[in-house]
Chain A
Amino acid sequence: MNKSRHVLTSLVMVPLAALVAVPFYYIVVNTFKTHQETATSPLALPSGLRLDNYVEVFETLPVLQNLLNTVIVTAASVTTMLLIGAMGAFGMIIRSTRFNTWFGALMVLAFLVPFQATLLPLYRMLVTARLVDTLQGLVVLYATGAIFCYFLILGYMRTVPTEIIEAARLDGAGPLRIFWNVVMPLIRPILITVGVFQTMWVWNDFIIPNVFISSTGNRTLVLLVYSAVGQFSVNWPMFMTLTVIVLIPMVIFFVTMQRFIVSGLVAGGVKG
């Protein structure tokens, strides 16, 4: 009886999952088709492995340039916010003064402020600093993610035994050395988990580039796809090809980092 229930579950769930995945199937098959083929049979398998669309996308659009922009912005932003967050968390645990309690309470406030509420003043600020439409400007804005990093890292750092820090102090290590050589290696698991989350956020983000970037050369990949819709509104295979090219790096990143994400979901949840 149990066995037949398993089969029944499979019979219901597998087609359902296939239905959920149809959009991805649709994108991928159409990248190998000509425009006419797509129009007549959008869901059929392609007649052959035509790679013309891929070649054409790379020829007509600055894909590599925009990929490089995205990599630079993501790497710089995530490194910055992890470093700021970890430093802040370390500053909080190394001393428990009244100042630190007060400081921690302020951070909670920042956590509650949505980006939308600060968007216009940040825009003015970037205009004044001449950072609108630059990659540096994006990194500055993504530094707001340091607060999230700070909270997750702080939760994890509290589990580090204080004896280790005390011992390092007794051995004559300065705070910088304790931070870099003792604490940072100990908190590596949380750095990876938070880093994965923030990488996915920055890489996939649309609102910040859409508001702050205007020139073609400074676009990120997501923005490239958005602007290409108009250009390819009648040539869907080309659009689908661009989409696949843009999705591949994130999928590879996700597959290699998968195990950190699920553990992070639980860790983040437990700490609320």
Chain B
Amino acid sequence: MSQQAPAPLAVGDRVGPGEGTGTEPRARGRRWDRAAVADRLFLLPVGVVFVVLFLIPVIRSGWWSLTNYNGYTPDYDFVGLANYGRLFSDTAMVSGFVFTLLYTVATTLVVTCLAIPLAVVLNRKFIGRNFVRSAFFFPAIPSIAVLGLVWGFILSPLGSGVINRVIETFGGASVPWLSTPGLARFSVILVGVWSQVGWHAILYLAYLQAIPEELTEVAIIDGANGRQRFFHITLPMLAPAMTVSQLLLLTGGLKVYDLPVTLTGGGPGYSTFTLTQAIIQRGIAQSEFGQASALAVVFMLVIGLIVAAQLAVARRLERRIQ
């Protein structure tokens, strides 16, 4: 790694006339330039992290996905693309794929549609504003796994289930929030939105506060009403914030694991099962490293594609607006 071309543009070399008088000959200096070696040593730790914790694991995932490796026995066979072919006939994996996508799309849409208006309101002056800001932001602070467990109690059909207790006192029937597939999916998404909407609203708020006031003032003088100002000034100015927020929501959604595991455990059946859970279950619990690696590789490619597509679309939109 250290055998590289000399550093023509390096900061350390641009020190001016004073330095060039000592060990000038460059050919020899290259070998003896201890400073250059020392400078490059700073890249070593992060390079080790890259190689050991990213590069090698990704290559091994790719290789295992083509084999029937079980995680223990050293001799295993090359099976070609068989693991990939089986991905789509495996109920757990297909369900994991479906719910992960549903969760990602739903949370991204709902959080964006709620966070932007919320940010606009939080930007106004009103009594109790600090309380409202804190209350919405607060769910972002604790571990989402712990919050998932707490919501498990809140949504429970048993005595601890506050929501059902409230419904019952008003004469309604207890709702099986976590034990029917449709409602369980809804509940996971609901808690996901609840825990993120305030955080994203604060992100938008930070960008809103950067909008120059003159812009709004001029618009008011020109006779623009509230809705026109929102769609023609606020929303375009929020475009960069939307890129960041949606990127976080999309990648966070695709990687979701903590919330479904703690709230529903992936059930009932496989209705709230996620891709990450599928990788862990197949790989570590059931020792099907080959099969699980194939899923991991597909997962990585899907994330890469979605991130690239989102960035491309966002960039085009931002350009059109400006």
Contacts and interface: CB of A to CB of B under 8 A. Distances in A.
A87 interface: yes
A36 B94 CA distance: 43
- Greatest chain A CB density within 10 A among B19, B244, B255 is at B244
B42 A175 contact: yes
Interface in B5-52: 5-12, 14-15, 18-19, 35-36, 38-43, 45-47, 49-50, 52
B99 interface: no
B98 interface: no
B7 A97 contact: yes
Kindly list the 3 A-B residue pairs having the minimum CB-CB distance in the complex, ordered from nearest: A88-B46, A91-B42, A204-B143
Interface stretch (A46-54, A57-65, A117-125, A187-195): A117-125
A118 B53 contact: yes
A118 B41 CA distance: 26
Given A87-B45, A114-B255, A269-B241, A120 B307 contact: no
Q: Is the interface of A mostly helix, strand, loop or mixed?
A: helix
Given A17-B132, A112-B304, A113-B300, A120 B5 contact: no
Contact of A162 (B11, B127, B300): B11
Given A222-B145, A239-B153, A266-B206, A116 B54 contact: no
6 contacts: A42-B159, A118-B57, A120-B283, A141-B53, A206-B144, A269-B241
Contacts of A100: 43
Interface in B229-267: 240-241, 243-244, 251, 254-255, 257-258, 261-262
Given A17-B132, A84-B46, A122-B57, 15 more contacts: A6-B127, A14-B128, A20-B194, A43-B165, A87-B46, A94-B42, A95-B10, A96-B7, A103-B47, A116-B255, A117-B58, A125-B57, A144-B53, A222-B145, A272-B244
Interface string A245-260: 0110011001000000
B143 A203 contact: yes
Interface in A86-130: 87-88, 90-100, 103, 106-107, 109-110, 112-125
A156 interface: no
B107 interface: no
B60 to A, nearest CB: 4
Nearest to A93: B11
Contacts of B40: 91, 95, 99
B10 A117 contact: no
B299 A121 contact: no
Contacts of B146: 204, 222, 225, 243, 246-247
A146 to B, nearest CB: 5
Contacts of B244: 268-269, 272
Given A95-B11, A96-B11, A124-B71, A27 B126 contact: no
A10 B300 contact: no
B49 A143 contact: yes
A174 interface: yes
Contacts of A211: 280, 284
B42 A90 contact: yes
B276 A26 contact: no
A118 B152 contact: no
B127 A10 contact: yes
A1 interface: no
Nearest to B194: A20
B241 A121 contact: no
Nearest to A167: B15
Interface residues of A, number: 97
Given A94-B10, A96-B11, A211-B284, A88 B45 contact: yes
B300 A117 contact: yes
B125 interface: yes
A6 B42 contact: no
Contacts of A137: none
Of the candidates B5, B58, B132, the one having the most CB atoms from chain A within 10 angstroms of its own CB is: B132
A120 B42 contact: no
B202 A262 contact: yes
Contacts of B135: 17-18, 20-21
B5 A97 contact: yes
B299 A175 contact: no
Contacts of B165: 42-43
Interface in B116-148: 121, 124-129, 131-132, 135-136, 138-139, 141-147
B66 interface: no
A94 B58 contact: no
A115 B53 CA distance: 10
B11 A94 contact: yes
